[in-house]
Structure 1
Amino acid sequence: MSIKNKMIITKRVEIKENISKMESLEEIHKEEYLRLKDKLKTLTTDDIYNKIETAKILNTINQKKLYILDGYKNFYSFLAGFKIAKSQAYKYIKIVSGVEKGIIDYNFIASNGIEKTIKQLESSNIIKKSNQNPIKPLRFQLKRQDSYDFYKSNAKFTGFLLDKLFSDEKEMIKKIMKEYKALKG
């Protein structure tokens, strides 16, 4: 008999064996998920306590002006040396001042997080709300360099112009939109 004509007989697998293998695989995945979830909880808890400790340290350094001992002229220069964002540092300082005033406690921060704590302090008018505009900036590209130069040098006017056109001249916008769509296609 040649090698070509030999048949290989494979063992037939019973359905019960497949089911038990699938169940054991599912159990392995479930155990892995639970282990990873516990690790994530530990890490996030540790992270929030690290942030609280960082907040205390930054507040002390800022209040006592200890950054001068290292040759920094201001707190912002100190933050840049440690690659800490200025907005992040000031959020931390606001939180510590809220704790010092007795408005919030560290348990509240640990259970709710930094952002929710800041929102709580802002809503209770303890700290000033950010002056940052909540509307995201608009980005678009112009076709001509001269129009780009004009609008770039008059950015606030451009914002005013677009708001004014939208609120008072909607018919003109519709007319221009029709013209644009006709040119486009």
Structure 2
Amino acid sequence: MGIKNKNKMIIGRRVKVNEDNLFVKLPEDSRKEEYLRLKDRLKSLVVDDIYNKIETAKILSLINEKKLYIFDGYKSFYGFLADFKIAKSQAYKYIKIASGMEQGVIDYDFIINNGIENTIKKLGSKNIVKKSKHNLTKQLCFEFKSQDSYDFYKRDTKFMCFVLDELFINNKEYLENLHKKYEHKLQKGI
């Protein structure tokens, strides 16, 4: 049925173990010692995991703030995150934690004692993450009649925004005259 995956490995049990009998054979003290050992190991792993998440938070925050992702050719932070298989919501939770630590609202001990999710809830009530300047204004769509003008403005959309803002702020009369000319052409049907 098609091509077999040569890298697939099937592991079978060599010895059949009845799991019910496994616990019966251990004396109560040994079971309790095993439980305590496993519990300590679990605590250690959880603390290590939290430290790793805190370091990840700091790294993501710096990469996002300083826009360091452009060195690998990413145009946005989202593209960078996609290659690392990090969800946007997870990344922004981590960035929120890093910002909270940077501002002194929380520290390592708080995160270790309360966990990541409870830390996020605590930070949720405070405005910790700096609002993106990108979303302060609404976006517009343009339809150009000439491919040349489209190509020119498409090359650098921030420049286009700059030009339009400058015209509006410094040459509002010129824009009003252009608008009248446009309205006149519309009335003539040109």
**What range is the shorter-chain TM-score in?**
0.5 to 0.7
CA distance in 2, matches of 1:100, 1:54: 14
Q: Cα distance, 1:28 vs. partner?
A: 1.4
Alignment of 1:144-163 (within 5 A): none
For the pair 1:30 / 2:45, whether they are aligned, the reply is: no
What's the % identity of the aligned pairs? 72
Helix, strand or coil: the match of 2:96? Answer: helix
2:53 maps to what in 1? 51
Coordinate RMSD, CA, aligned: 1.9
1:98 Cα deviation after fit: 1.2
| Corresponding residue for residue 142 of structure 1 | none
1:114-142, Cα deviation, whole Å (9 max, x unpaired)? 111111112245459xxxxxxxxxxxxxx
Runs of 4 or more above 6 Å deviation: none
* Aligned equivalent of 1:60: 62
Structure 1 residue 27: Cα displacement: 1.3
The normalised TM-score by structure 1 is 0.54
Question: What secondary structure is seen at the aligned counterpart in 2 of 1:102?
Answer: coil
SS at match of 1:47: helix
Where structure 2 has 5 or more consecutive residues not aligned to the other structure, the ranges are 1-23, 131-190
| Residue aligning to 2:102 | 100
Following superposition of structure 1 onto structure 2, how do residues 2-41 of structure 1 map, counting pairs within 5 Å? 25-41=27-43
Distance of 1:42 and 1:56 partners within structure 2: 21
- Contact 1:62–1:75 under 8 Å retained in 2: yes
Largest Rg, 1 or 2: 1
Match for residue 77 of structure 2?
Answer: 75
Structure 2 distance, partners of 1:93, 1:126, is 10
Cα offsets for 1:32-84 (capped at 9, x unmatched): 11110010010001000000000000001111111111111110010000001
Residue 113 of structure 1 aligns to a residue whose secondary structure is: helix
1:87 to 74, 89, 108: 89
Matched, 1:111 2:113: yes
Q: CA deviation at 1:24?
A: 6.1
Asked if the contact 1:98–1:126 (Cα under 8 Å) also holds between the matched residues in 2, the reply is yes
Aligned partner of 1:120 in structure 2 is 122
CA contact (8 A) 2:95 2:129 kept: no
Gap regions ≥5 residues in structure 1: 1-21, 129-185
With normalisation by structure 2, the TM-score equals 0.52
Question: In 1, Cα distance between the equivalents of 2:65 and 2:126?
Answer: 24
Name the SS of the counterpart of 1:91 in structure 2. helix
2:119 alignment partner AA: T
Does the aligned pair in 1 maintain the 2:99–2:129 contact within 8 Å?
Answer: no
Q: Please tell me whether the aligned partners of residues 121 and 127 of structure 1 are also in contact (alpha carbons under 8 angstroms).
A: no
